[in-house]
Structure 1
Amino acid sequence: MTGSIGLQALEVIKKLGSFRILAGTYHTNHNLAQKLAREFEIAKILCTKDDYDELFWLMEHHRPDVTLVCVPGFASLSVTLKALQTSRRVLLASKEALVCGGWLVKEAKEKNHCELIPVDSEHSALMQIYEPEVEKVLLTSSGGALRDWEIQELNRAKPEDVLKHPVWKMGKRITVDSATMVNKGFEVLEACELFQLEAKQVEVLIHREGLVHAMVFLKDGTVKMHLGFPDMKIPIAYGLTYPKRSFENKSWPNLIETTLKFEYVDREKYPAFYLAYEIEKDYAKRTAYNAADEVCVEAFLQNRIKFTQIAKVIEKVVERIEANPRDLEDLKSIDAESRRIAEEVIECL
């Protein structure tokens, strides 16, 4: 609850005034968590740095109506599966759960008759405009902080350069992932899982204004577009109160001043993004893709590798992983092995 999504969710809940928060989690920011617990009268706050056992017990005990999952990384898969077992509605802000274990998430959703609502701005947008006879969908991307850098300059990019996102205010990992567009690769795979699409049906274009979040292309030539200011509180509120829109905002883009320009995603500048399309059907390689990225982002932020080496390490790790995961334990093993290989590759750079 102390991360970007968690803090914005608390703002939304405060404004709506109709939800009671049973529990919240934090990773390291204990002081902020204590402050928020007092302000929002949260009965229980948990540190999830070491394990999730107490959280899972709480979820079983309280059986909440709504659980918001915004745990970063591979750990979000276990939390999402438990939330689907214990909640009526799960708001999913963690892409990695579907990237790594999409079939497990969908099985749990069906088995427990639970609602699964995406909180990503793009997937929330798709949900609002989607209809069955879709030929393809389009997700937009900002292009990240280095979108105007020449390719030959990327090698000298520092963490402080990459963390200056031009549109969204987010956590460090997702901001780096926006610059490599690994995040958008995750979103392509997430869209495939949520809307039963093939990756070839999910197009991505760079859209600097950040006003259009998604489009759907229908077989009769119609294109439906979701447009609005880049504000994560809107999809969070929509997920909480769906199918109603109870969040009062009334701030709309000035259409006279918009240009709505779009650009292709440069394969040379964003190689890690295109890798997502190549591993669409392989959950083992998708898990490796995420694990290697987690390791690489941390290494980059610690100045252990260069920005351009992120994609190279991810590709090497994905190449080396061959497996046929059957359950969560298999995925955990693949995740651990992928992290080990990523560290090994980084040491050899």
Structure 2
Amino acid sequence: MKTLTILGSTGSIGRQTLDVVRHSGEQLKIHALVADKSIELIEQQARLYHPEIVVMMDEGAARELRGRLKNLPIKVDQGMTGIINSVIAPQVDTVVTAISGRIGLEPTLAALEAGKTIALANKETLVAGGDLVMSTARKMKCPILPVDSEHSAIFQCLEDNHETLEKIILTASGGPFFGWTQKQLATVTLEKALCHPNWDMGAKITIDSATMMNKGLEVIEAHYLFNMEYDQIEVLIHPQSVVHSMVQYRDGSVLAQLGRADMRLPIQYALSYPSRWKNSFERLDFRGKTLTFHEPDLEGFPALAMAYRVGRRGGTLPAVMNAANEIAVLAFLQEKVTYLKIQDIVEKVCSEHNVLDSLDLESILDADTWARRRAAELIS
């Protein structure tokens, strides 16, 4: 049996992780659930899965939850200190980082320092602090198992002889605006941007998919996870979301991982690895399917090209890009800026940043704070 702490249990990935736990029988157990302030949902989760600890980022939410759960032997903690304690607990084997945004960086580092396996669904952690996170994982000999469907696909296709790998090919659905002109993109509304054609995801990642920033973040994540140069990472638009990603070897052979658009599959693989557990999830049916692939439109969706540039430059710049994007996307979700303004804000913040190349947690967090403040100024 593996014991888990789930960061972001009330989000899309967190809820699907708990569904995997429910289907696993006696193979998975919950130590801690962590959320921001979704009191109703996390109370339901706590009563169903019986964790030892529930942690709320919001102090008021933690206070109310204590009252709601007072009849159960569940400790309710709060804030970053509570999160750190939930991931370093000696009984925890694996930490599922399903929390959204840069906030996942500190608990991920703490979990690695405590020798935990990371099931990584938080790409912003590697975008903001990839060098620091990967060096800590190597030092502590802790595996980082990808949960993102694309990176899980690559992980499953890799052979032991990594030196024969020529490139990796990340597939992207193209989001809801694949093929749209710049004139059409100027008419994008929040409602349209939140309608992803294939995946059921949280609001932030859905908007990132619409701008293709999500794929840009995944390019940087792949660079760190698989130790690949940016010239060896290709992106193809694959609207059907059946081929989740591919790897190409130096002899021209290409291995692909295919499956339904169901995040429970990569989640389960990260939690069962190196085994594959039997499940009752719906199977992929190939009959009547047509699979197509296209070059990404870097003019209509410049976030992807920017992510390549930012990743190549490195230093604190990826953290700045990520932070500015989080603030700009939040402003769009609050209907304070237009869809096209998201990219303008991120580009402006990145262009103003004085990049530091000597990275530690403090410098990353300082760059993150500056970028958030500057993005907020541009929005206001």
Deviation readout 1:241-297 (Å, 9 max, x if unpaired): 101101414643333322210111111111011101111131311011101100100
Structure 2 residue matching 1:46: 3-state secondary structure: strand
For the residues of structure 2 that align with 1:314 and 1:157, how far apart are their CA atoms? 18
Q: Residue 226 of structure 1 aligns with which residue? A: 257
RMSD of aligned residue pairs (Cα, Å):
1.4
* 1:272 has 2:303 as partner: yes
Q: Secondary structure at the match of 1:62?
A: coil
Q: Which residue of 2 aligns with 1:297?
A: 329
Shift of 1:63: 4.5
CA distances 1:75-103 after superposition (whole Å, capped 9, x unpaired): 11111101212243110000011111111
Of 9, 13, 36, 1:5 maps to 13
The residue type equivalent to 2:32 in the other structure is A
- Whether the 8 Å contact between 1:76 and 1:94 is mirrored in structure 2 is yes
Offset of residue 60 of structure 1: 3.0
Distance 1:231 1:240, change over 3 A: same
Q: CA deviation at 1:326?
A: 2.2
Please tell me whether the aligned partners of residues 100 and 283 of structure 1 are also in contact (alpha carbons under 8 angstroms): no
Corresponding residue for residue 166 of structure 1: 197
Aligned ranges for residues 114-129 of structure 1 at < 5 Å?
114-129=142-157
Question: Partner of 1:310 in structure 2?
Answer: 342
Instruction: Tell me: CA distance 1:346–1:88, structure 2 relative to 1, closer, same or farther (3 Å).
Output: closer
Which SS does the other structure have where 1:97 is aligned?
A: helix
Question: Is contact 2:319–2:367 with CA below 8 Å preserved after alignment?
Answer: yes
- The whole-number CA distance in structure 2 between the counterparts of 1:45 and 1:157 is 39
Q: CA deviation at 1:148?
A: 4.3
**2:294 corresponds to 1:286:** no
Partner of 1:240: 271
1: distance between equivalents of 2:89 and 2:304?
A: 40
Match 2:124 to one of 96, 119, 141: 96
| Match of residue 184, structure 1, among 203, 206, 215 | 215
Task: Determine helix, strand or coil for the equivalent of 2:262.
Answer: coil
- 2 CA distance for matches of 1:326 and 1:227? 37
User: Contact 2:87 / 2:107 at 8 angstroms: preserved in 1?
Assistant: no
2:171 to 137, 140, 144: 140
Aligned match for 1:321, one of 340, 350, 353: 353
* 1:63–1:87 Cα contact (<8 Å) kept: no
Q: Using the TM superposition, give the Cα deviation of residue 157 of structure 1 relative to its aligned residue in structure 2, in angstroms.
A: 1.1
Runs of 5+ unmatched residues, structure 1: none
> Where do residues 254-269 of structure 1 align in structure 2 (5 Å cutoff)?
254-269=285-300
SS of residue matched to 2:186: helix
Distance 1:293 1:4 in 2: 20
Q: Using the alignment, how far apart are the partners of 2:148 and 2:58 within structure 1?
A: 24
Q: Give the TM-score of the pair, scaled to structure 1.
A: 0.96
Q: Distance in 1 between matches of 2:239 and 2:335?
A: 28
Find the partner of 1:30 among 31, 39, 42.
Answer: 39
Q: 2:55 aligns with which of 46, 50, 56?
A: 46
2:365 match? 332
> Which of residues 84, 87, 112 in structure 1 aligns to 2:140?
112
Counterpart position of 1:343: 376
TM-score (norm 2): 0.88
Provide the rounded CA distance (Å) in 2 between the counterparts of 1:171 and 1:287.
21
Task: Check the 8 A contact 2:88/2:116 in 1, yes or no.
Answer: no
1-structure distance, mates of 2:305, 2:201: 23
Amino acid at match of 2:13: I
Q: CA deviation at 1:298?
A: 0.7
Relative contact order, higher structure (CA 8 A, sep 6+): 1
Q: Work out the number of aligned pairs and report it.
A: 347
Q: In the alignment, residue 169 of structure 2 is paired with which amino acid?
A: L
Is this contact kept in 2: 1:300–1:306, CA < 8 A?
A: yes
Within the alignment, does 1:85 sit opposite 2:117 as a pair? no
Counterpart Cα distance in 1 of 2:344 and 2:86: 41
**Rounded Cα–Cα distance in structure 1 between residues aligned with 2:123 and 2:250:** 28
Distance 1:200 1:235 in 2: 26
State yes or no: 1:57 paired with 2:85.
yes
Cα distance 1:320–1:291, how it changes in 2: closer, same or farther (>3 A)? Answer: same
CA distance in 1, matches of 2:206, 2:281: 28
Per-residue CA distance 1:295-345 (angstroms, 9 max, x = gap) = 100111111111011111111111111232420011110001011111222
